[in-house]
Amino acid sequence: MEYMNELAYMVSQVAGVSVQTFRIEPTNTTDCLAGRKVSFALPSSALLNMRTLALHFSADAAQTASAGGRLPPKITSLIDRVEISAGGQMIQQGFNQQNTFHHLKDALCEINSTDHVLGHPYVVRTTSYVDGYGDSGSSGLTSTENESYATSSGAAQFAVNNFVGFPGTCEPAIQNMSLLPDCIFSVYFAGNEVLGSAAGVALTGTGSSDLTDAGTATAAFKIYNLHLTIEAVGLASSVYDNVIASEIAANGYVTVPFKNYFSQTDTHTGSTKFSVATQSLDRVWVCTRATAYDTSQLISAVNGYKRSGAFTATSSGGSATQDVGKPQYDIGGVLDTNKELYTTAYFNLSEVATRASASVAPTFQMQLNGSYIPAFKATVEELWQVSKNSVPKYHSGKPMFISLDQYRNNYFGFCFRLNLPNDDVRIASGLDTRSVALQGYINSTGLASTTNMMVFAECTSHLRIGQGRQMNVVI
Protein backbone atom coordinates (compact mmCIF):
# COMPACT_ATOMS: atom_id res chain seq x y z
CA MET A 1 0.00 0.00 0.00
CA GLU A 2 1.25 3.48 -0.88
CA TYR A 3 0.62 6.64 1.11
CA MET A 4 0.98 10.30 0.34
CA ASN A 5 4.40 11.75 1.14
CA GLU A 6 2.73 14.02 3.68
CA LEU A 7 1.55 10.96 5.65
CA ALA A 8 4.55 8.67 5.30
CA TYR A 9 7.43 8.45 7.77
CA MET A 10 10.54 7.48 5.88
CA VAL A 11 14.18 8.45 5.54
CA SER A 12 16.61 7.82 2.68
CA GLN A 13 20.34 8.25 3.11
CA VAL A 14 23.15 8.10 0.58
CA ALA A 15 26.50 8.01 2.32
CA GLY A 16 29.85 9.19 1.01
CA VAL A 17 28.60 11.93 -1.32
CA SER A 18 30.98 14.71 -2.36
CA VAL A 19 30.15 17.74 -4.50
CA GLN A 20 32.61 20.03 -6.29
CA THR A 21 32.34 22.72 -8.97
CA PHE A 22 34.93 22.90 -11.73
CA ARG A 23 35.95 25.59 -14.21
CA ILE A 24 36.60 24.45 -17.81
CA GLU A 25 38.61 26.53 -20.26
CA PRO A 26 37.82 26.49 -24.00
CA THR A 27 39.90 24.37 -26.34
CA ASN A 28 40.31 27.04 -29.02
CA THR A 29 39.90 30.64 -27.81
CA THR A 30 38.76 32.66 -24.80
CA ASP A 31 37.61 35.65 -26.92
CA CYS A 32 35.55 35.62 -30.10
CA LEU A 33 33.45 37.77 -32.40
CA ALA A 34 29.91 37.36 -33.73
CA GLY A 35 29.30 34.25 -35.81
CA ARG A 36 32.23 32.33 -34.33
CA LYS A 37 32.39 28.98 -32.53
CA VAL A 38 33.93 28.04 -29.20
CA SER A 39 34.37 24.47 -27.87
CA PHE A 40 34.95 22.87 -24.48
CA ALA A 41 36.02 19.34 -23.52
CA LEU A 42 33.78 18.11 -20.70
CA PRO A 43 35.45 16.14 -17.88
CA SER A 44 35.47 12.40 -18.47
CA SER A 45 35.05 9.68 -15.80
CA ALA A 46 32.93 12.03 -13.69
CA LEU A 47 29.31 12.35 -12.57
CA LEU A 48 28.31 15.74 -14.01
CA ASN A 49 25.19 17.60 -12.98
CA MET A 50 24.11 18.89 -16.40
CA ARG A 51 21.59 21.31 -14.89
CA THR A 52 24.47 23.31 -13.40
CA LEU A 53 26.27 23.78 -16.72
CA ALA A 54 26.93 27.51 -17.18
CA LEU A 55 28.78 29.46 -19.87
CA HIS A 56 30.49 32.54 -18.39
CA PHE A 57 31.78 35.52 -20.37
CA SER A 58 31.89 39.26 -20.72
CA ALA A 59 30.42 41.00 -23.76
CA ASP A 60 30.16 44.40 -25.38
CA ALA A 61 28.37 46.00 -28.33
CA ALA A 62 31.30 48.32 -29.00
CA GLN A 63 33.09 46.85 -32.02
CA THR A 64 31.76 49.65 -34.26
CA ALA A 65 32.49 53.19 -33.07
CA SER A 66 29.54 55.46 -32.20
CA ALA A 67 26.90 52.95 -33.30
CA GLY A 68 24.76 53.35 -30.20
CA GLY A 69 25.20 49.60 -29.80
CA ARG A 70 23.10 47.74 -27.23
CA LEU A 71 23.21 44.12 -26.14
CA PRO A 72 19.81 42.43 -26.64
CA PRO A 73 17.50 41.39 -23.81
CA LYS A 74 18.50 37.97 -22.40
CA ILE A 75 22.19 37.16 -22.75
CA THR A 76 21.13 33.85 -24.33
CA SER A 77 20.24 36.03 -27.35
CA LEU A 78 23.92 36.04 -28.30
CA ILE A 79 23.91 32.25 -28.83
CA ASP A 80 22.53 30.86 -32.08
CA ARG A 81 23.17 27.13 -31.62
CA VAL A 82 24.63 24.62 -29.15
CA GLU A 83 25.86 21.14 -30.02
CA ILE A 84 27.18 18.19 -27.99
CA SER A 85 29.21 15.35 -29.46
CA ALA A 86 30.84 12.26 -27.97
CA GLY A 87 33.72 10.59 -29.74
CA GLY A 88 32.86 12.51 -32.90
CA GLN A 89 29.23 11.32 -32.90
CA MET A 90 26.49 13.89 -32.38
CA ILE A 91 24.28 13.63 -29.30
CA GLN A 92 22.62 16.98 -29.95
CA GLN A 93 23.30 18.72 -33.25
CA GLY A 94 21.49 21.78 -32.06
CA PHE A 95 19.15 24.03 -34.02
CA ASN A 96 19.47 27.48 -35.55
CA GLN A 97 17.96 30.48 -33.76
CA GLN A 98 17.89 28.86 -30.36
CA ASN A 99 17.91 32.46 -29.09
CA THR A 100 14.59 33.18 -30.82
CA PHE A 101 13.10 30.05 -29.28
CA HIS A 102 14.07 31.27 -25.80
CA HIS A 103 12.09 34.49 -26.39
CA LEU A 104 9.10 32.63 -27.85
CA LYS A 105 8.93 30.04 -25.07
CA ASP A 106 9.24 32.65 -22.33
CA ALA A 107 6.44 34.72 -23.90
CA LEU A 108 4.00 31.82 -24.19
CA CYS A 109 4.88 30.51 -20.73
CA GLU A 110 4.61 34.07 -19.32
CA ILE A 111 7.96 33.93 -17.52
CA ASN A 112 11.38 35.49 -17.78
CA SER A 113 13.67 32.47 -17.43
CA THR A 114 16.80 34.62 -17.61
CA ASP A 115 18.82 35.00 -14.43
CA HIS A 116 18.47 38.64 -13.35
CA VAL A 117 21.98 38.83 -11.90
CA LEU A 118 24.02 37.32 -14.74
CA GLY A 119 21.51 37.13 -17.60
CA HIS A 120 21.24 40.73 -18.93
CA PRO A 121 17.42 40.42 -19.00
CA TYR A 122 16.65 43.92 -20.37
CA VAL A 123 17.93 46.42 -22.91
CA VAL A 124 19.98 49.21 -21.31
CA ARG A 125 19.12 52.82 -22.19
CA THR A 126 21.53 55.08 -20.27
CA THR A 127 22.57 53.52 -16.95
CA SER A 128 23.29 49.80 -16.89
CA TYR A 129 21.98 47.58 -14.09
CA VAL A 130 25.02 45.33 -14.67
CA ASP A 131 27.69 47.66 -13.26
CA GLY A 132 25.84 50.91 -12.54
CA TYR A 133 27.47 52.56 -15.57
CA GLY A 134 27.27 51.00 -19.06
CA ASP A 135 30.42 52.49 -20.59
CA SER A 136 33.17 50.08 -19.45
CA GLY A 137 32.55 50.80 -15.80
CA SER A 138 33.38 54.50 -16.11
CA SER A 139 30.15 56.37 -16.84
CA GLY A 140 26.62 56.11 -18.12
CA LEU A 141 25.79 56.05 -21.83
CA THR A 142 25.25 59.28 -23.73
CA SER A 143 24.61 60.15 -27.36
CA THR A 144 25.73 57.22 -29.58
CA GLU A 145 28.08 55.54 -27.11
CA ASN A 146 28.12 51.73 -27.16
CA GLU A 147 27.27 49.44 -24.25
CA SER A 148 30.46 47.87 -22.88
CA TYR A 149 31.88 46.36 -19.70
CA ALA A 150 35.27 45.89 -18.06
CA THR A 151 37.18 42.81 -19.25
CA SER A 152 40.46 43.07 -17.33
CA SER A 153 41.50 40.42 -14.78
CA GLY A 154 39.23 37.86 -16.42
CA ALA A 155 36.00 39.75 -15.68
CA ALA A 156 32.89 37.84 -16.79
CA GLN A 157 29.65 39.63 -15.94
CA PHE A 158 27.30 37.26 -17.77
CA ALA A 159 26.36 33.59 -17.69
CA VAL A 160 24.07 31.40 -19.78
CA ASN A 161 22.66 28.74 -17.48
CA ASN A 162 19.30 27.76 -18.99
CA PHE A 163 20.21 25.65 -22.00
CA VAL A 164 17.45 23.90 -23.91
CA GLY A 165 18.05 20.44 -25.33
CA PHE A 166 20.32 17.86 -23.72
CA PRO A 167 21.90 19.87 -20.85
CA GLY A 168 18.60 21.26 -19.61
CA THR A 169 16.33 18.23 -20.07
CA CYS A 170 18.32 14.96 -19.97
CA GLU A 171 17.21 12.42 -17.39
CA PRO A 172 18.83 11.65 -15.12
CA ALA A 173 20.21 15.17 -14.71
CA ILE A 174 23.48 13.77 -13.33
CA GLN A 175 25.24 12.02 -16.18
CA ASN A 176 27.97 9.39 -15.76
CA MET A 177 30.54 10.59 -18.30
CA SER A 178 32.67 7.45 -17.91
CA LEU A 179 30.03 5.62 -19.97
CA LEU A 180 30.59 7.90 -22.97
CA PRO A 181 33.51 8.74 -25.25
CA ASP A 182 35.12 12.15 -24.69
CA CYS A 183 32.38 14.78 -24.93
CA ILE A 184 32.76 18.15 -26.68
CA PHE A 185 30.39 21.02 -25.89
CA SER A 186 30.33 23.62 -28.69
CA VAL A 187 28.65 27.03 -28.83
CA TYR A 188 27.94 28.93 -32.05
CA PHE A 189 27.42 32.65 -31.46
CA ALA A 190 24.79 34.64 -33.36
CA GLY A 191 25.47 37.37 -35.88
CA ASN A 192 25.47 41.09 -35.15
CA GLU A 193 21.85 41.33 -36.31
CA VAL A 194 20.66 40.41 -32.79
CA LEU A 195 22.00 43.71 -31.39
CA GLY A 196 20.31 47.08 -31.20
CA SER A 197 21.67 50.29 -32.73
CA ALA A 198 20.31 53.60 -31.40
CA ALA A 199 20.59 57.22 -32.51
CA GLY A 200 20.56 58.45 -28.91
CA VAL A 201 19.50 57.74 -25.34
CA ALA A 202 16.30 59.79 -24.97
CA LEU A 203 12.92 58.22 -24.26
CA THR A 204 10.74 57.30 -27.22
CA GLY A 205 8.79 60.26 -28.57
CA THR A 206 11.25 63.10 -27.86
CA GLY A 207 12.69 63.62 -31.34
CA SER A 208 14.95 62.03 -33.93
CA SER A 209 17.65 60.92 -31.48
CA ASP A 210 15.67 58.58 -29.26
CA LEU A 211 16.73 55.12 -28.19
CA THR A 212 14.20 53.71 -30.65
CA ASP A 213 15.49 55.75 -33.61
CA ALA A 214 17.87 53.99 -36.01
CA GLY A 215 21.57 54.46 -35.47
CA THR A 216 23.79 55.51 -38.36
CA ALA A 217 26.16 52.52 -38.07
CA THR A 218 25.83 48.76 -37.69
CA ALA A 219 26.62 47.69 -34.14
CA ALA A 220 28.89 44.67 -33.56
CA PHE A 221 29.69 42.62 -30.45
CA LYS A 222 32.62 40.70 -29.01
CA ILE A 223 32.81 38.02 -26.33
CA TYR A 224 35.62 37.94 -23.74
CA ASN A 225 36.95 35.61 -21.03
CA LEU A 226 34.91 32.55 -22.00
CA HIS A 227 34.77 29.57 -19.66
CA LEU A 228 32.38 26.92 -18.37
CA THR A 229 31.49 25.91 -14.83
CA ILE A 230 29.80 22.64 -13.90
CA GLU A 231 29.13 20.66 -10.76
CA ALA A 232 30.57 17.16 -10.32
CA VAL A 233 29.27 14.60 -7.83
CA GLY A 234 31.32 11.85 -6.21
CA LEU A 235 30.05 8.66 -4.57
CA ALA A 236 32.19 6.65 -2.17
CA SER A 237 30.28 3.43 -2.84
CA SER A 238 30.46 1.33 -6.02
CA VAL A 239 26.77 0.45 -5.78
CA TYR A 240 25.80 2.97 -8.46
CA ASP A 241 28.38 1.66 -10.93
CA ASN A 242 27.19 -1.90 -10.31
CA VAL A 243 23.56 -0.92 -10.96
CA ILE A 244 24.50 0.68 -14.31
CA ALA A 245 26.62 -2.31 -15.29
CA SER A 246 23.76 -4.69 -14.44
CA GLU A 247 21.30 -2.65 -16.50
CA ILE A 248 23.59 -2.69 -19.54
CA ALA A 249 24.22 -6.41 -19.14
CA ALA A 250 20.49 -7.16 -18.91
CA ASN A 251 19.18 -4.88 -21.69
CA GLY A 252 22.24 -4.12 -23.77
CA TYR A 253 22.11 -0.41 -23.02
CA VAL A 254 20.84 2.31 -20.68
CA THR A 255 18.58 5.03 -22.06
CA VAL A 256 18.94 8.77 -21.49
CA PRO A 257 15.84 10.64 -22.77
CA PHE A 258 16.07 14.33 -23.59
CA LYS A 259 14.30 17.07 -25.55
CA ASN A 260 15.56 17.63 -29.07
CA TYR A 261 14.63 20.54 -31.35
CA PHE A 262 14.63 21.25 -35.08
CA SER A 263 14.01 24.64 -36.65
CA GLN A 264 12.75 25.88 -39.99
CA THR A 265 12.60 29.50 -41.18
CA ASP A 266 10.98 30.83 -44.32
CA THR A 267 9.36 33.85 -45.90
CA HIS A 268 5.72 33.03 -45.29
CA THR A 269 3.42 33.31 -48.29
CA GLY A 270 0.26 31.80 -46.86
CA SER A 271 1.83 28.44 -46.09
CA THR A 272 5.16 27.41 -44.54
CA LYS A 273 6.30 23.80 -44.86
CA PHE A 274 8.22 21.77 -42.29
CA SER A 275 9.07 18.11 -41.84
CA VAL A 276 10.77 15.99 -39.17
CA ALA A 277 11.24 12.23 -38.72
CA THR A 278 11.09 11.39 -35.02
CA GLN A 279 9.80 8.79 -32.59
CA SER A 280 7.94 11.46 -30.62
CA LEU A 281 6.94 14.84 -32.05
CA ASP A 282 5.74 16.58 -28.90
CA ARG A 283 5.08 20.20 -29.80
CA VAL A 284 5.28 22.62 -32.70
CA TRP A 285 6.17 26.21 -31.78
CA VAL A 286 5.66 29.07 -34.28
CA CYS A 287 6.41 32.81 -34.31
CA THR A 288 6.29 35.61 -36.89
CA ARG A 289 8.41 38.73 -37.44
CA ALA A 290 8.44 41.67 -39.82
CA THR A 291 10.64 41.38 -42.91
CA ALA A 292 13.44 43.68 -41.66
CA TYR A 293 13.92 41.82 -38.38
CA ASP A 294 17.48 40.77 -39.25
CA THR A 295 18.72 43.95 -40.94
CA SER A 296 17.49 47.04 -39.10
CA GLN A 297 18.91 46.58 -35.54
CA LEU A 298 16.07 48.85 -34.41
CA ILE A 299 15.23 48.97 -30.72
CA SER A 300 11.50 48.85 -30.01
CA ALA A 301 9.68 50.02 -26.90
CA VAL A 302 7.37 47.22 -25.77
CA ASN A 303 3.74 48.36 -25.93
CA GLY A 304 2.27 49.69 -22.71
CA TYR A 305 5.55 50.63 -21.03
CA LYS A 306 7.04 54.08 -20.43
CA ARG A 307 7.55 56.58 -23.20
CA SER A 308 8.15 60.33 -23.26
CA GLY A 309 5.61 62.68 -21.73
CA ALA A 310 5.89 63.05 -17.94
CA PHE A 311 8.26 65.76 -16.70
CA THR A 312 9.72 66.80 -13.38
CA ALA A 313 11.95 69.65 -12.23
CA THR A 314 15.70 69.13 -12.04
CA SER A 315 17.41 69.52 -8.68
CA SER A 316 18.95 72.88 -9.54
CA GLY A 317 17.10 74.40 -12.46
CA GLY A 318 13.64 74.66 -10.95
CA SER A 319 11.98 74.10 -14.33
CA ALA A 320 10.20 71.02 -15.62
CA THR A 321 12.95 69.80 -17.92
CA GLN A 322 13.57 66.20 -16.89
CA ASP A 323 11.50 63.64 -18.82
CA VAL A 324 10.77 60.67 -16.55
CA GLY A 325 8.27 59.16 -18.97
CA LYS A 326 4.77 57.78 -18.54
CA PRO A 327 3.31 54.36 -19.38
CA GLN A 328 1.15 53.97 -22.47
CA TYR A 329 -1.52 52.28 -20.39
CA ASP A 330 -3.08 53.86 -17.30
CA ILE A 331 -0.66 56.14 -15.42
CA GLY A 332 -0.77 53.88 -12.39
CA GLY A 333 1.10 51.23 -14.32
CA VAL A 334 -1.42 48.54 -15.27
CA LEU A 335 0.20 45.07 -15.53
CA ASP A 336 3.40 46.41 -13.98
CA THR A 337 4.03 48.75 -16.94
CA ASN A 338 5.09 51.84 -14.98
CA LYS A 339 8.69 51.35 -16.14
CA GLU A 340 10.76 51.09 -19.32
CA LEU A 341 11.02 47.92 -21.40
CA TYR A 342 12.63 47.47 -24.80
CA THR A 343 13.48 44.72 -27.25
CA THR A 344 15.47 44.57 -30.47
CA ALA A 345 13.97 44.03 -33.93
CA TYR A 346 15.38 40.49 -34.09
CA PHE A 347 13.30 39.42 -31.10
CA ASN A 348 10.23 41.58 -31.64
CA LEU A 349 7.69 38.83 -32.39
CA SER A 350 4.72 40.59 -33.96
CA GLU A 351 1.44 39.73 -35.61
CA VAL A 352 0.36 43.36 -36.14
CA ALA A 353 3.56 44.26 -38.05
CA THR A 354 3.07 41.32 -40.43
CA ARG A 355 -0.56 41.92 -41.45
CA ALA A 356 -1.38 42.35 -45.11
CA SER A 357 -4.09 44.80 -44.08
CA ALA A 358 -4.30 46.61 -40.76
CA SER A 359 -8.07 46.10 -40.72
CA VAL A 360 -8.08 42.35 -41.44
CA ALA A 361 -7.19 40.04 -38.54
CA PRO A 362 -5.22 36.94 -39.59
CA THR A 363 -6.06 33.30 -38.86
CA PHE A 364 -3.78 30.28 -38.46
CA GLN A 365 -4.00 26.49 -38.67
CA MET A 366 -1.48 23.65 -38.70
CA GLN A 367 -1.77 20.83 -41.23
CA LEU A 368 -0.09 17.45 -40.69
CA ASN A 369 -0.62 15.46 -43.89
CA GLY A 370 -4.45 15.31 -44.00
CA SER A 371 -5.09 16.37 -40.38
CA TYR A 372 -5.74 19.95 -39.23
CA ILE A 373 -4.90 21.37 -35.81
CA PRO A 374 -7.00 22.97 -34.49
CA ALA A 375 -10.02 21.75 -36.43
CA PHE A 376 -10.80 25.35 -37.44
CA LYS A 377 -8.92 28.44 -38.62
CA ALA A 378 -7.98 30.03 -35.33
CA THR A 379 -7.82 33.74 -34.53
CA VAL A 380 -5.02 35.24 -32.47
CA GLU A 381 -7.14 35.10 -29.32
CA GLU A 382 -8.01 31.45 -29.90
CA LEU A 383 -4.35 30.64 -30.56
CA TRP A 384 -3.39 32.09 -27.17
CA GLN A 385 -5.84 29.76 -25.44
CA VAL A 386 -4.66 26.75 -27.48
CA SER A 387 -1.07 27.66 -26.61
CA LYS A 388 -1.77 27.94 -22.89
CA ASN A 389 -3.11 24.37 -23.03
CA SER A 390 -0.03 23.26 -24.96
CA VAL A 391 3.03 24.75 -23.26
CA PRO A 392 4.83 22.99 -20.38
CA LYS A 393 3.07 23.48 -17.08
CA TYR A 394 6.14 23.60 -14.83
CA HIS A 395 8.59 26.47 -15.14
CA SER A 396 11.22 28.25 -13.14
CA GLY A 397 11.53 31.98 -13.63
CA LYS A 398 10.01 35.33 -12.77
CA PRO A 399 6.36 35.72 -13.88
CA MET A 400 5.90 38.03 -16.87
CA PHE A 401 2.55 39.78 -17.32
CA ILE A 402 1.44 40.11 -20.95
CA SER A 403 -1.59 41.97 -22.24
CA LEU A 404 -3.41 41.09 -25.47
CA ASP A 405 -2.01 44.28 -27.04
CA GLN A 406 1.55 43.26 -26.11
CA TYR A 407 0.96 39.70 -27.31
CA ARG A 408 -0.06 40.95 -30.75
CA ASN A 409 2.72 43.51 -31.09
CA ASN A 410 5.77 42.18 -29.23
CA TYR A 411 5.33 38.57 -28.08
CA PHE A 412 3.34 36.86 -30.80
CA GLY A 413 3.67 33.14 -31.31
CA PHE A 414 1.73 29.95 -30.69
CA CYS A 415 2.23 26.31 -29.75
CA PHE A 416 0.45 23.07 -30.67
CA ARG A 417 0.89 20.09 -28.34
CA LEU A 418 0.81 16.58 -29.80
CA ASN A 419 1.73 14.56 -26.69
CA LEU A 420 0.14 13.88 -23.30
CA PRO A 421 -0.38 16.99 -21.13
CA ASN A 422 2.83 16.61 -19.14
CA ASP A 423 6.47 17.56 -19.50
CA ASP A 424 8.00 14.29 -18.28
CA VAL A 425 10.83 13.60 -20.72
CA ARG A 426 10.84 9.95 -19.63
CA ILE A 427 7.47 9.47 -21.35
CA ALA A 428 7.64 9.61 -25.15
CA SER A 429 3.97 10.07 -26.04
CA GLY A 430 4.17 12.36 -29.06
CA LEU A 431 3.45 11.68 -32.73
CA ASP A 432 5.69 9.00 -34.32
CA THR A 433 6.59 10.28 -37.80
CA ARG A 434 9.29 7.76 -38.73
CA SER A 435 7.03 5.41 -40.70
CA VAL A 436 5.22 8.13 -42.64
CA ALA A 437 6.39 10.87 -44.98
CA LEU A 438 5.23 13.70 -42.75
CA GLN A 439 4.40 16.92 -44.55
CA GLY A 440 3.64 19.67 -42.07
CA TYR A 441 2.33 23.13 -42.96
CA ILE A 442 1.51 26.28 -41.04
CA ASN A 443 -1.32 27.85 -43.03
CA SER A 444 -2.57 31.38 -42.54
CA THR A 445 -4.77 34.10 -43.95
CA GLY A 446 -4.24 37.85 -43.68
CA LEU A 447 -0.42 37.96 -43.46
CA ALA A 448 1.86 39.93 -45.76
CA SER A 449 3.91 37.88 -48.23
CA THR A 450 7.14 39.28 -46.71
CA THR A 451 6.48 37.85 -43.23
CA ASN A 452 9.28 35.87 -41.60
CA MET A 453 8.00 32.68 -39.94
CA MET A 454 9.98 30.43 -37.60
CA VAL A 455 8.84 26.87 -36.87
CA PHE A 456 10.40 24.85 -34.04
CA ALA A 457 9.67 21.13 -33.74
CA GLU A 458 10.10 19.78 -30.19
CA CYS A 459 10.84 16.05 -29.97
CA THR A 460 11.76 13.47 -27.33
CA SER A 461 14.98 11.68 -28.28
CA HIS A 462 16.81 8.81 -26.59
CA LEU A 463 20.56 8.46 -26.10
CA ARG A 464 21.34 4.75 -25.78
CA ILE A 465 24.63 3.85 -24.10
CA GLY A 466 26.02 0.32 -24.26
CA GLN A 467 29.14 -1.54 -23.25
CA GLY A 468 32.56 -0.27 -24.27
CA ARG A 469 31.27 3.32 -24.58
CA GLN A 470 29.11 2.42 -27.57
CA MET A 471 26.24 4.83 -28.17
CA ASN A 472 23.57 5.85 -30.61
CA VAL A 473 20.78 8.44 -30.63
CA VAL A 474 17.17 7.57 -31.47
CA ILE A 475 15.66 10.82 -32.69
Measured torsion, CA atoms of residues 300, 349, 352, 326, in degrees rounded to the nearest 10: -30
**Backbone angles phi and psi of 381, in degrees to 5:** -65, -40
Q: How far is CA 418 from CA 260, 399, 413, in A?
A: 15, 26, 17
Beta carbons within 10 angstroms of residue 183's beta carbon: 18
Mean pLDDT of 134-154: 95
Which of these, 88, 130, 125, 121, lies nearest to 102 by C-alpha position? 121
Residue 410 lies in a domain: yes
Q: What is the model's pLDDT at position 1?
A: 47
Residue 5 lies in a domain: no
User: In terms of residue numbers, what domain contains 101?
Assistant: 17-305+340-474
Residue 323 lies in a domain: no
- Mean of the per-residue pLDDT values for the chain? 93
Q: What is the pLDDT of residues 21-72, one digit of tens each?
A: 999 999 989 999 999 999 999 999 899 999 999 999 999 999 999 999 999 9
DSSP 3-state assignment of 124? coil
Residue 4 lies in a domain: no
Burial of 60 (0-12, 13-18, 19+ CB in 10 A): buried
Amino acid 432 reads D
Cβ neighbours for 117, distance < 8 A, ≥ 6 positions apart: none
Residue 274 to residue 457: CA distance in whole angstroms: 9
pLDDT at 400 over 90: no
Q: What is the model's pLDDT at position 166?
A: 95
Q: What is the model's pLDDT at position 239?
A: 82
Q: What is the pLDDT of residues 297-316, one digit of tens each?
A: 999 999 999 999 888 887 77
Burial of 197 (0-12, 13-18, 19+ CB in 10 A): buried
Residue 330 lies in a domain: no
Residue 155 lies in a domain: yes
Bridge partner list, 442: 272, 366
Confidence of residue 349 (pLDDT cuts 50, 70, 90): very high
Q: What is the pLDDT of residues 154-181, one digit of tens each?
A: 999 999 999 999 999 999 999 999 999 9
Q: What is the pLDDT of residues 266-290, one digit of tens each?
A: 999 999 999 999 999 999 999 999 9
Residue 38 to residue 189: CA distance in whole angstroms: 8
**Number of independent structural domains in the chain:** 1
Residue 322 lies in a domain: no
Residue 1 lies in a domain: no
